[in-house]
Amino acid sequence: PRTHIAVIGGGISGLSTAWYLARTAPPSVAITLLESSKRTGGWISSDRVKDPAHPGGTILLERGPRSLRPQGISGLNTLEMVGDLGIESSLVPVSKSSPAAKNRFIYSRNKLHKLPSSIMGALTHPLLGPKLPRAGLDLVVANSGQEDESIQEFVTRRFGKGFSDDLISAMVHGIYAGDVSKLSVRSTFGMLYHLEKDYRSVALGLLMGGGGPIETPWDHKLKEGITKRMPDLGDFVSKTSIYSFTDGLEVLSRALEKDLKNSGRVDIRKDSRVKKLDFDLSRRTVKISMKNHEPLSVDHVIAALPPRKLHSLLAKDHPELVYDPSVTVAVVNLVYSSENAKLASPGFGYLIPRSEDSTVKHNGLLGVVYDSCSITSQDQGPSRDHTLKLTAMIGGHMFDEVTSGHNQNNEELESFFIETAKETVRKHLQIEAAPELVKAHIHRECIPQYLVGHLERMQTLDERLRSDYDGLLAVTGAGYLGVSVNDCIKNAREVAEAVLSRFQED
Ligand code: FAD
């Protein structure tokens, strides 16, 4: 081969980048995927374990992400990948009419409240008092005139403090485990930002038919191509709220790895931690130094790593790579026997808003997912329909504060979070029984936080990478332009296409 491309990082972003490269690169291009750990998948990690309460039964536990949304262009793009990988038969769709799709809750003032399913629904939510002042405020209030601001500033200015503190902050806990007063509205709730910009009012914009997906010409072309290739996907999307696979989301990353191996196009090297990248711009090569391996010389690098990790591999300083932090989340899986533990109201789960003062009152609890109720049929044998499986997510932007007085040793922290999760379930869901099985994982710096100004920083980074590395380095991954698995896959496709088109131009 004339050209060698290395993808660094074997999470869903790196696997997808290698997969899209392998599908479209001419035979003259060699592809290597370098992953530091012994497995691919990154934060995607699904375990099947024995059920202690139902002999012969097994339970599926997710350590990281647990469901995908089929909606939008990125949703459609992942479904196309699922089809091409031939793993549709293990899809577990959650119908839009199921309780999990209809009932999402927030825990506030000692009880659970049903979350609205749309912005208009949110504007009239009973938890937030009379609706007119809020909608009225949004109709008359002026634009901030700023390029970006925090979600809290934006939402409070347009809809009042209660709306931000009681509702939106809970959603931000659910997606980013983040602080509503620090995250960028433009990078996280782009639709709200554009409604204000284009219509001067969110409510008015929605009434006038605004609020659709923000599509680039590349997105538009992608959507057209997929709809033409797989017209039946529309039916799945219209009926499905979220989905996973029989053996969890890791089915996707495992299938990607298997397909890459079968293609014979990608050299997957695990246990290969990259330590340093040296760019020789005159010879147009990159030397990749690794722990325990000989250096590798390639023509192009695509880094699918958390930005801070990439920063540590580069000789040059790029402040845009280290500005936005990532938060740590404790994930606690709790399994009860459904004979003695039942949910009063089935649904997807509940979130804790900022107004609950979670750091003090709930040891940093962000929310609880009702796994067995939302994605049914992952547990097998006698466990199926006989377990109540919950996951408590704890910490995020509150992690340092709630663990400050504790020994930072992982085992001790895990016991602390397990106690928090058990106590939470007892208090919030009135489940007095002891769990049959408990697993805790502390995921250090696992969710990137797009702080105010993030998009501008990404534009600057893009320009600097182009000028400093003359096109030899490209980046992708959750740290840049979208944290969901769908976003990671779509952005991987875009970077793979962009890099290959550059080679074709050469
Ligand atoms: P990572 O998964 O971080 O992958 C990076 C890879 O690079 C890792 O495998 C790492 O080992 C490797 N690496 C690091 N340093 C080096 C080095 N020096 N050399 C070589 N390799 C290196 N998204 C959803 O869509 N739905 C959900 O339900 C959902 N829930 C989530 C729940 C939790 C608890 C978490 C943490 C995330 C969740 N997300 C969810 C978000 C989503 O899972 C992540 O954003 C996504 O998996 C990130 O993938 P990535 O490949 O960009 O990064």
Looking up tokens 């105010």, which residue turns up?
A: 452
Q: What spacing in Å lies between the alpha carbon of 441 and ligand 1's midpoint?
A: 14
Going by C-alpha positions, the residue among 505, 450, 461 that lies closest to residue 325 is 450
pLDDT for residue 131: 52
- The token pair at 381 is 């044998």
How many angstroms separate the CA atoms of 342 and 172, rounded? 27
Counting beta carbons within 10 angstroms of the beta carbon of residue 26, is it exposed (0 to 12), middle (13 to 18) or buried (19 or more)?
A: exposed
CA 21 to CA 481: how far, in whole Å? 20
Pocket test for ligand 1, best of 15, 61, 249, 305 (most atoms within 8 A of CB): 305
Q: Is 183 within the bounds of a domain?
A: no
Once rounded to an integer, what is the mean pLDDT over residues 363-368? 97
Residue 279 domain-assigned (yes or no): yes
Pocket test for ligand 1, best of 485, 486, 489, 493 (most atoms within 8 A of CB): 485
Q: What pLDDT band is residue 496 in, cutting at 50, 70 and 90? A: very high
> Would you place residue 506 in the very low, low, confident or very high pLDDT band (cuts 50, 70, 90)?
low
Ligand 1: residue whose CA is nearest its atom 46? 485
pLDDT at 133 over 70: no
Please, where are the H alpha helices in 347-406?
358-361, 371-374, 399-403
Question: Looking at ligand 1, which atom is closest to the CA of residue 290?
Answer: 19
pLDDT at 234: 93
CB 299 within 8 A of CB 398: no
Residue 299 is encoded by which pair of tokens? Answer: 């023509």
Q: Which of 197, 204, 192, 195 is nearest to 139 (CA)?
A: 204
Span from the CA of 482 to the centroid of ligand 1 (angstroms)? 12
Q: How far apart are CA 187 and CA 451, in angstroms?
A: 8
- The whole-angstrom separation of Cα 458 and Cα 313 is 19
Flag whether 187 is in a domain.
no
Average pLDDT on 63-88 reads 97
Residues 6+ apart with CB under 8 A from 400: none
How many domains does the structure of the chain reveal?
1
CA atoms within 13 A on the CB side of 162: 15
pLDDT reported for residue 160:
86
Atom of ligand 1 nearest to the CA of 443: 36
Distance 145 CA to ligand 1 centre (A): 35
Q: Is residue 501 included in any domain, yes or no?
A: yes
Q: Ligand 1 pocket: which residues have CB below 6 Å?
A: 8-14, 34-37, 42-44, 64-68, 273-274, 304-306, 309, 329, 331, 443, 446-447, 477-478, 483-486, 488
Look at ligand 1, atom 27, and give the residue with the nearest C-alpha. Answer: 65
Q: Is residue 159 part of a domain?
A: no
DSSP string, 19-84: HHHHHHS-TTEEEEEE-SSSSSBTT--EEEEE-TTSTT-EEEEESS---B---HHHHHHHHHHHHH
Domain of 261 in residue numbering reads as 3-42+248-323+452-505
Distance 43 CA to ligand 1 centre (A): 4
Expressed in angstroms and rounded, the spacing between residue 210 Cα and the centre of ligand 1 is 32
- For the cut 80, the answer to whether the pLDDT of residue 148 exceeds it is yes
| Residue that is written with structure tokens 């939106």 in the block | 168
Measuring from atom 39 of ligand 1, which residue has the nearest CA?
Answer: 65
Higher pLDDT, 145 or 439: 439
State the pLDDT confidence band at 1, using cuts at 50, 70 and 90.
low
User: How close is the Cα of 34 to the center of ligand 1, in Å?
Assistant: 15
- Using a 10 angstrom Cβ sphere, with 0-12 exposed, 13-18 middle and 19 or more buried, the burial of residue 81 is buried
* pLDDT tens digit sequence for 211-243: 888 889 999 999 999 999 999 999 999 999 999
- Side by side, the strands of the sheet bearing 3-8 are 266-269, 29-34, 3-8, 300-303, 473-475
Position 130 pLDDT exceeds 60? no
User: Does the residue 483 lie in any domain?
Assistant: yes
Atom of ligand 1 nearest to the CA of 63: 34
Residue 132 has pLDDT above 70, yes or no: no
What pLDDT, on the 0 to 100 scale, is given for residue 2?
86
Supply the DSSP symbol for 451: B
Can you give the CATH number for the domain in which 319 is found?
Answer: 3.50.50.60
Distance between Cα 169 and ligand 1 center (Å): 23
pLDDT in tens, 11-30: 999 999 999 999 999 999 99
Q: What is the distance in angstroms between the CA of the first residue and the CA of the last residue of the chain?
A: 15
Q: How far is the CA of 6 from the centre of ligand 1 (A)?
A: 18
The answer to the question of residue 423 being in a domain is: no
Residue 496 lies in a domain: yes
Taking residues 408-420, what's their average pLDDT? 95
Q: State the average pLDDT over residues 92-117.
A: 93
Backbone φ and ψ of 32, nearest 5°: -125, 135
- For residue 477, the ligand 1 atom closest to its alpha carbon is 52
**What's the pLDDT at 502?**
83
> Separation of 316 CA from ligand 1 center, angstroms?
25
Contact 341, 373 (CB under 8 A): no
DSSP 163-227: IIIIIIHHHHHHHHS--TTTBBHHHHSHHHHHHHHHHSSHHHHHHTT-------HHHHHHHHHHH
pLDDT at 135: 64
Substitution site in 15, 43, 271, 276 for ligand 1 pocket (most atoms within 8 Å of beta carbon): 43
Å from CA of 177 to ligand 1 middle: 14
* Nearest ligand 1 atom to alpha carbon 43: 2
Q: Whose CA is nearest to atom 2 of ligand 1?
A: 42
Is 60 exceeded by the pLDDT of residue 125?
A: yes
Instruction: Please state, rounded to an integer, the average pLDDT across all residues of the chain.
Output: 94
Structure tokens at 492: 């991987």
429 alpha carbon – ligand 1 mean position (Å): 30
